[in-house]
Structure 1
Amino acid sequence: MTTTIPTDIPTVAATGTAASALRGTRRRRNVRSAAVTCALAVAVVALLVLTMMVGSFRIGAGEVVASVLHLRDNPSVDFVVRGLRLPTAASALTVGLALGASGTIFQQLLRNPLASPDFVGITSGAGLAAATGIVLLQGGGLVVSGMALGGALLAGLLMYLLAWRDGVTGYRFILIGIGASVFFDGLIGFVLSRAQLFEARQAMHWLTGSVGQASTAELRLLAGALLVLLPAAVLLQRPLRALELGDDAARTLGIRPDLSRAGLLGTAIVLVALAVSVAGPIAFVALVAGPIANRLLGPATGGILPAALVGSALLLTADLVAVHLLPTPLPTGVVTGAVGAPYLLWLLATANRQGVGG
């Protein structure tokens, strides 16, 4: 009698080995992602405390923590920490989270490292609305912030509608955004040319960007929005990864490309609009936060929460440098611009060498 040996045993063994290797790779990626996220969170908390320690009146780390958490009653320390330094530190923290998350969503969704809110017209739209409010309406505080928020949202909606043609592609969205940004910048120059000297200086200070100009109401609005939008962005990370593979692959995985893309873009636009309304158009943080986070994450690239934490760390560090390490205190946007411009040149040069720079 002839014994038949199943021919599919090697195939089954190979499939099991591949599945085991895949699970091991996924486990290592998850472990690295969790470790990097925790390390970044610790670094952000340390920078937050350091921001409230330094100044003309030095305060110890323990006193800062006790004052913020209301563990001790020390009127002089509480006045300096809660009244003077905490609003600026909280502004840098929340604005950095919003810029980092929105920047990496744009870059992954549009599949271009230059796809940042800085360059696709959204921050320029906010700047135009804010400059108009300052110069023509003599507004300030919540009026300017509200107009900046509305300007950013309208600019984002305009970009989406102009880029829509049986769907939104990254290349078309970026080109239209760059053109709109140039147009808005020209209108900003026109508005400033009609301003009085005091109004022009006030508008230019806002357009430079600084984390120290937010009111309590603006900070509460941004913090409340982050509590909703940041978890929503993290939940949308699965559709975002699917869209990176292309629309056909996303449909195969059960993702609706147009709806998911609209939700992701909407979330990113609202995040950056709120950040700009609080601190002005701080340049380059949204551009560099995602790539730095990806370098730290290694094979576990694309994490929205790590990119948001990198954005906070960058902005807290930039504020420390701008206020305490330079001969004259400067707006935070000056430091981020000085650091971000060389990075942009390097990014353009390397992209061109790799043949993806256009």
Structure 2
Amino acid sequence: MKNNTMELIISGRRQRRRRWVVVTALLAILALALCCAMLLLGNTIYPLGDVIRVLSGEQIKGATFAIHTIRLPRMLAGLFAGFAFGMAGYIFQTMLRNPLANPNVIGITSGSSAAAVFCITVIHANGAVVSIASVIAGLATVALIYALSKGRTFSIGRLILVGIGIQAMLDAVISYLLLVSSQQDIPTALRWLSGSLNGSKMDELPPLIIAVLVLSPFIIVLGKHLGLLELGEQSATSLGVATDKTRVVLILCSVGMIALATATTGPIAFVSFLSGPIAKRLAGSGFSNAIPAGLVGVNLVLAADLIGQFAFEVRYPVGIITGILGAPYLIYLLIRMNRKGEL
């Protein structure tokens, strides 16, 4: 009887692992296809051979400028920002055991956005200054939310409510900055707020790329503890997890990535909110879905950008398309949680 039970457990684990591997591979293939589409499509559609030759360093009149200066930075910004938003959103939702606990809803991206808008409209800075300010503001926002929500004991519900309040306050600050800023600064600031890949430049991408490449491994390694953290503070501690250290490292890594992603593309709406649930639905449970969630984020951003560019007569920023996709899901989630008595 014991042997049969062990065989069933092992078989189930193998099936879950196989499903995870297959889904992750398919998401990676889809992301690669979308990356290729970002390089091929535009006002002029270039054949794949020309794209490969340009990326190899060969000069082709017209194609070199379009691919190197416009399409490649746009694709890389969507790739790394989407991965950062998706992975960070999954970490917050899983660690705090609540689908509403993502950086968009609890004010973290608003903190980064407020810092970016301040730099643009008040001190007229750009590039590295904006990125540094966004990261610092994101970390400061997290520290403030955590401090205000901690009380005698840590409360997830209190953290979400405090985060929503901080977000409202920061949104008011952003509105005020836009109201008093000069006319020439408003278009640049609005680009941050809507979330857009337009105007992405290669020299602005290294901080985001480095952050994703350096911080993602920490999240992936610590991802095995997320399932234990979902069981609750006492259960995770009894199973040998250093909950405070694990939570701090995961939060710092996630905030670092999402702040730099926000500094690069603006707060692309609902990507961090949608990626985790979609990844869990596709890949199943039993293993950390940090990588699938990151890949879902990549696919959402790149697909939404292609839709915004080519599906309508007017070109829309990627954040508007993801907002259209995410808003109905948020309403559905709130209704479902209210029926279950979770709100």
Rounded to whole Å, the distance in 2 between the matches of 1:26 and 1:75 is 54
**Structure 1: which 4+ aligned runs deviate by more than 6 Å?**
none
Match in the other structure for 1:20: 7
CA contact (8 A) 1:91 1:212 kept: no
Match in the other structure for 1:161: 147
Rounded to whole Å, the distance in 1 between the matches of 2:270 and 2:180 is 29
- CA displacement 1:303-347 (0-9 Å, x = unmatched): 100000000000001111112222122221111112211111111
2:199 paired residue among 213, 224, 233: 213
Rounded to whole Å, the distance in 2 between the matches of 1:143 and 1:71 is 31
1:91 aligns with 2:88: no
1:30 aligns with 2:21: no
1:43 aligns with 2:30: yes
Match in the other structure for 1:279: 265
Question: Over aligned residue pairs, what C-alpha RMSD do you find?
Answer: 1.8
- The structural deviation recorded for 1:184 is 0.8
Match in the other structure for 1:202: 188
Which moved further from structure 2: 246-255 or 29-38?
246-255
* 1:236 counterpart SS class: helix
Rounded to whole Å, the distance in 2 between the matches of 1:132 and 1:190 is 10
Rounded to whole Å, the distance in 2 between the matches of 1:209 and 1:177 is 21
Structure with larger Rg:
1
CA contact (8 A) 1:213 1:279 kept: no
- CA displacement 1:192-239 (0-9 Å, x = unmatched): 221223323332222111123333233111111111111111111111
Equivalent residue letter for 2:194: T
Rounded to whole Å, the distance in 2 between the matches of 1:156 and 1:340 is 23
Which moved further from structure 2: 321-330 or 276-285?
321-330
CA contact (8 A) 1:105 1:268 kept: yes
1:56 aligns with 2:43: yes
Q: How does 1:111-122 map to 2 (within 5 A)?
A: 111-122=97-108
- CA displacement 1:248-281 (0-9 Å, x = unmatched): 2212221111111111111111111111011111
TM-score by length of 2: 0.94
Rounded to whole Å, the distance in 1 between the matches of 2:25 and 2:89 is 21
Match in the other structure for 2:331: 345
Rounded to whole Å, the distance in 1 between the matches of 2:37 and 2:154 is 43
1:107 aligns with 2:93: yes
Equivalent residue letter for 2:155: T
Rounded to whole Å, the distance in 1 between the matches of 2:177 and 2:242 is 42
Rounded to whole Å, the distance in 2 between the matches of 1:213 and 1:255 is 44
CA contact (8 A) 1:148 1:277 kept: yes
CA contact (8 A) 1:121 1:178 kept: yes
Match in the other structure for 1:81: 67
1:255 paired residue among 235, 238, 241: 241
Q: Which runs of 5+ in 1 are unaligned?
A: 1-13
Rate the CA distance shift 1:347–1:305 in 2: closer, same or farther, 3 A.
Answer: same
Match in the other structure for 1:5: none
Equivalent residue letter for 1:50: A
Equivalent residue letter for 1:26: R
1:315 aligns with 2:278: no
Q: How does 1:239-250 map to 2 (within 5 A)?
A: 239-250=225-236
1:149 paired residue among 106, 120, 135: 135
TM-score by length of 1: 0.90
Which moved further from structure 2: 41-50 or 176-185?
176-185
Rounded to whole Å, the distance in 2 between the matches of 1:167 and 1:30 is 36
Which moved further from structure 2: 215-224 or 166-175?
166-175
Match in the other structure for 1:132: 118
Equivalent residue letter for 1:275: A
Identity percentage over the alignment?
A: 36
Rounded to whole Å, the distance in 2 between the matches of 1:53 and 1:260 is 42
CA contact (8 A) 2:117 2:177 kept: yes
Q: Which runs of 5+ in 2 are unaligned?
A: none
- CA displacement 1:173-203 (0-9 Å, x = unmatched): 2111111111111111222221223323332
Rate the CA distance shift 1:80–1:190 in 2: closer, same or farther, 3 A.
Answer: closer
Equivalent residue letter for 2:173: L
* 1:222 counterpart SS class: helix
Match in the other structure for 1:180: 166
CA contact (8 A) 2:39 2:71 kept: yes
Rounded to whole Å, the distance in 1 between the matches of 2:209 and 2:187 is 29
CA contact (8 A) 1:293 1:301 kept: no
Match in the other structure for 1:171: 157
Rate the CA distance shift 1:154–1:124 in 2: closer, same or farther, 3 A.
Answer: same
Match in the other structure for 2:314: 328
